[in-house]
C-alpha cells in the first residue's frame, strides 16, 4: 500500500485547446494543466520508496481533494458543490501517476474520490487488489 500527500490547492485537468495552423487544426494541452500535472508528479516521485518500480496488477485507489472554503460559505458547509468537477481533479492526478506509480491507469479497478473543504491538498491511498 502506498500513501501520498500532495500539498497545495487541487487543480483540475482542463480541456484541450485548439489552434488553426494553415489548413489544419492542432489540439494541445493548456500550460496550466501541464504545470499542475508536473507538480503533482514531482511530489509523488519524492514520496516513493527507493528502488520503486511501477505497480503492474489490478489496483484500488482512494483520493481526497481538499479546497479552501470561500469566505462566502458557512462553516457548516463542508462539501463544495461548485466547479471544478471531481472527475477533472481525478484525471489530472491519474495522468500524473501514469508510468510512475502504475504502468497505466487502466489497471485501476476501484476508485473512491471525495471533494471537501479544508486544508488544501490531496491525500491518495493506492494498493494492489488481491
CATH for 120: 3.30.1330.70
CA distance 126 to 58: 11
Taking a C-beta distance cutoff of 8 angstroms, is the pair 116, 66 a contact? yes
Q: What is the pTM of this model?
A: 0.91
Question: Domain limits at 64?
Answer: 2-14+21-50+57-128
Domain count, the chain: 1
Cell numbers of 113, please? 474520490
- pLDDT tens for 6-62 read 999 999 999 989 999 899 998 989 999 999 999 999 999 999 999 999 999 999 999
- pLDDT tens for 80-114 read 999 999 999 999 999 999 999 999 999 999 999 99
Amino acid at each position: 500500500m502506498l500513501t501520498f500527500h500532495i500539498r497545495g490547492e487541487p487543480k483540475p485537468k482542463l480541456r484541450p485547446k485548439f489552434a488553426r495552423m494553415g489548413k489544419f487544426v492542432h489540439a494541445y494541452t493548456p500550460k496550466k494543466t501541464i504545470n499542475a500535472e508536473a507538480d503533482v508528479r514531482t511530489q509523488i516521485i519524492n514520496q516513493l520508496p527507493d528502488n520503486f518500480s511501477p505497480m503492474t496488477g489490478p489496483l484500488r485507489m482512494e483520493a481526497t481533494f481538499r479546497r479552501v472554503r470561500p469566505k462566502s460559505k458557512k462553516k457548516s458547509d463542508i462539501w463544495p458543490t461548485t466547479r471544478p468537477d471531481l472527475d477533472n481533479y481525478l484525471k489530472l492526478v491519474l495522468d500524473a501517476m501514469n508510468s510512475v506509480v502504475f504502468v497505466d491507469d487502466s489497471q485501476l479497478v476501484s476508485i473512491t474520490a471525495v471533494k471537501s473543504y479544508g486544508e488544501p491538498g490531496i491525500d491518495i491511498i493506492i494498493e494492489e487488489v488481491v
